Structure 1
Amino acid sequence: MKRHSALLLAAGGSTRLGRPKQLLSIGGVPLVRHVARLLLATRPEHLVVVTGGAEAAIRQALAGLDVVLVQNEDWQTGMASSLRCGHRALAGSSLPLLITGADQPCLTERHLRVLLEQDADGKDVITSYGEDGRGIPVLLSPATQQRIQGLQGDTGLRQLWKNTQTAPICVCAPELGFDIDTPEQLDAAVRAGWIDRD
């Protein structure tokens, strides 16, 4: 498998959910720790975790793992600031960058490995959810990473592929189109057995 670094975005405030979704649990393990373990299983050179609103609790949930924790002081401004913060922590790395969030309960190690196994030849590899769009997890080329510092607000990664002549490679994983942003989505995840009941 190709050498890479990894970035876990875990700074969101979960305002619509009303509680930190990073601390929901799967099999008794906090979701943020579960995802960090999946990333570590791909053997990245470095794994940076960007924290924000629930920093202390997330730090505790990740105790003992080989991760670099970085606090985004501007996390309330949106995902772009977390991407910039995490990318700065990896300064000097010229490796492809595997990026995930902490709210996709169906994410598996296999999803991450499929991205890494693509013969990308310098292109980005992103996840397609089907009609629901596309997004994380993604594998960013070093060239694309150079544009991260220009991102602003809550635009996130999609802005990176606007006005570019190199289309990313898409890997289909419709199950990853489900994430947890609202109480209704949390209820659905619990009913499906993806997230533990309180």
Structure 2
Amino acid sequence: MKRHSALLLAAGGSTRLGRPKQLLNIGGVPLVRHAARLLLATRPEHLVVVTGGAETEVRQALAGFDVVLVRNENWRTGMASSLRCGHQALAGNSLPLLIAGTDQPCLTGRHLHGLLEQNAGGKDVITSYGEDGRGIPVLLSPTTQQRIQDLHGDIGLRQLWKNTQTAPIGVCAPELGFDIDTPEQLDAAIRAGWIDRD
């Protein structure tokens, strides 16, 4: 497995859902802990977890894990500030960066290892959802990471590949196109058995 660092985005306020999605349970385990466990299983040099909304509970959910917890004071402004915050915590890092979130209940270790196993030749590797687009998890090259500090707002990673001649490599995983942002999506995830009932 190639050497890498990892970043878990866990700062969102889940305003549309009305409750912290990071703390929904999957098999009795909070989603944030589940995602951190998957990332740690890839054996990163460092795992940085960016917190913000529900910070105290998220920290408690990660108790005992070998992670670096960083609070994003500007978490309400969107994903870009969390990316910047997490990247700053990895200052001096020259390794590929594996980035995941906490709202994809179908995420497995296979998805993360699939990104790392790509012979990318310095290119970024992203997840393709099919017609629903593309996004995290992603593996960013050190070159692309240098542009993280230029990101703003809630558009996030998509900005990194605008006006660039180097297209990222896509790994197809349509099941990861489902994430939990609304009560309706949460209900669908519970019915599918992906998320525990309260």
| TM-score calculated relative to the size of structure 2 | 1.00
| 2:138 corresponds to 1:138 | yes
In structure 2, what residue type is equivalent to 1:82? S
Alpha-carbon distance in structure 2 between the residues aligned to 1:140 and 1:33: 22
Aligned to 1:117: 117
| Identity %, equivalent residues | 88
Aligned to 1:74: 74
Alpha-carbon distance in structure 2 between the residues aligned to 1:52 and 1:164: 31
Alpha-carbon distance in structure 2 between the residues aligned to 1:185 and 1:79: 20
Alpha-carbon distance in structure 2 between the residues aligned to 1:83 and 1:54: 18
Q: Secondary structure at the match of 1:166?
A: coil
Aligned to 1:167: 167
Aligned to 2:190: 190
Superposition pairs of residues 10-25 of structure 1, within 5 angstroms: 10-25=10-25
Aligned to 1:33: 33
CA drift at 1:28: 0.5
Alpha-carbon distance in structure 1 between the residues aligned to 2:51 and 2:11: 4
Aligned-pair Cα RMSD in Å: 0.3
Alpha-carbon distance in structure 2 between the residues aligned to 1:116 and 1:56: 31
Q: Secondary structure at the match of 2:110?
A: helix
- Segments ≥4 residues shifted beyond 6 Å: none
| 2:37 corresponds to 1:61 | no
Aligned to 1:149: 149
Q: Secondary structure at the match of 1:49?
A: strand
Alpha-carbon distance in structure 2 between the residues aligned to 1:50 and 1:61: 13
In structure 2, what residue type is equivalent to 1:97? L
Aligned to 2:107: 107
Structure 1 residue runs without a partner (length 5+): none
Q: Secondary structure at the match of 1:104?
A: coil
CA drift at 1:18: 0.1
| TM-score calculated relative to the size of structure 1 | 1.00
Q: Deviations over 1:45-72 (max 9, x none)?
A: 0000000011000000000000000000
Alpha-carbon distance in structure 2 between the residues aligned to 1:168 and 1:21: 29
CA drift at 1:10: 0.3
Alpha-carbon distance in structure 2 between the residues aligned to 1:37 and 1:53: 20
Aligned to 1:180: 180
CA drift at 1:108: 0.1
Aligned to 2:44: 44
CA drift at 1:179: 0.2
Alpha-carbon distance in structure 1 between the residues aligned to 2:177 and 2:32: 18
Alpha-carbon distance in structure 2 between the residues aligned to 1:68 and 1:25: 22
Q: Secondary structure at the match of 1:144?
A: helix
| 2:96 corresponds to 1:96 | yes
Aligned to 2:84: 84
Alpha-carbon distance in structure 1 between the residues aligned to 2:184 and 2:192: 12
